[in-house]
Chains A and B, each alone.
Chain A
Amino acid sequence: MASIKDHKSHELGLHQEVLTGRTQQVFFNPEEVENFYYYDSYDVDFNKRTTIDVTKLDCVAVNKKIKDLMKKGYGTIVLKNPGAKHSLGVGILNKLNLIIEGSLGYFGVGSIDGPVVRISGRVGWSCAENMMAGKVVIEKNAGSCFGAAIRGGDLICKGSVGARSGIDMKGGTIIVGGNAGAFTGFMMQRGRIIILGDVGPNLGDSLYDGTIFVGGKIGSLGADAVEAEMTDLDRFWLKRKLKVAEINKKVDYSKITKIVSGKKLWNYDNLEPTERKGAI
Chain B
Amino acid sequence: MCGIAGLIHRGKSTNVGGEMQNMLQSLKHRGPDSTGYALYGDGSSNNYILRFKVGENVKEGSSAQIEDPSVYEKRVAQVNSEIISAGATIVKEEKATPYSFRYVLKCDDDLLELAKKIESVEMTEILSLGKSLELVKDIGDASVVADQYGLNNFSGTHGIGHTRMATESGVDIRSAHPFWGYPFSDVSVVHNGQLTNYWNTRRKLEKLGMRFMSTCDSELIAVYLADKIRKGVDLNEAMHSSLNDLDGVFTYLVATKDKLGMAKDYMAAKPMVLYESDELVALASEEVAIRTLLPHEIDTHDPYEGEVKVWQA
Contact = CB atoms under 8 A, between A and B. Distances in A.
A103 B294 CA distance: 13
Contacts of B290: 84
B268 A144 contact: yes
A201 B286 contact: no
Interface residues of B, number: 20
A84 B291 contact: yes
Contacts of A106: 286
A121 interface: yes
Contacts, number: 70
Contact of B288 (A85, A141, A160, A183): A85
A181 B286 contact: no
B294 to A, nearest CB: 10
Contacts of A160: 301
Contacts of A124: 271, 273, 286-287
Contacts of A86: 286, 288
Nearest to A101: B297
A191 to B, nearest CB: 22
Interface in B256-313: 266-269, 271, 273, 286-288, 290-291, 295, 297-302, 304-305
A182 B267 contact: yes
A182 B287 contact: no
Dominant secondary structure at the B interface: loop
A98 interface: no
B268 A181 contact: yes
Nearest to B300: A122
A85 B291 CA distance: 10
Contact of A181 (B297, B299, B304): B304
B268 A163 contact: yes
Interface string A105-118: 11000000000000
Q: Which of A122, A140, A183 has the most CB of B within 10 A?
A: A122
A141 B268 contact: no
B284 to A, nearest CB: 10
A181 B287 CA distance: 19
Contacts of A183: 267-268
B67 to A, nearest CB: 41
Interface of A: 83-86, 102-103, 105-106, 120-122, 124-125, 140-141, 143-144, 159-160, 162-164, 181-183, 200-201
16 contacts: A84-B287, A84-B288, A103-B297, A122-B299, A124-B273, A140-B299, A141-B301, A143-B271, A160-B301, A162-B268, A162-B304, A163-B267, A163-B305, A182-B268, A183-B267, A200-B305
Across the A-B interface, give the 5 residue pairs with the lowest CB-CB distance, nearest first: A163-B268, A84-B287, A162-B302, A182-B305, A141-B301
Interface of B: 266-269, 271, 273, 286-288, 290-291, 295, 297-302, 304-305
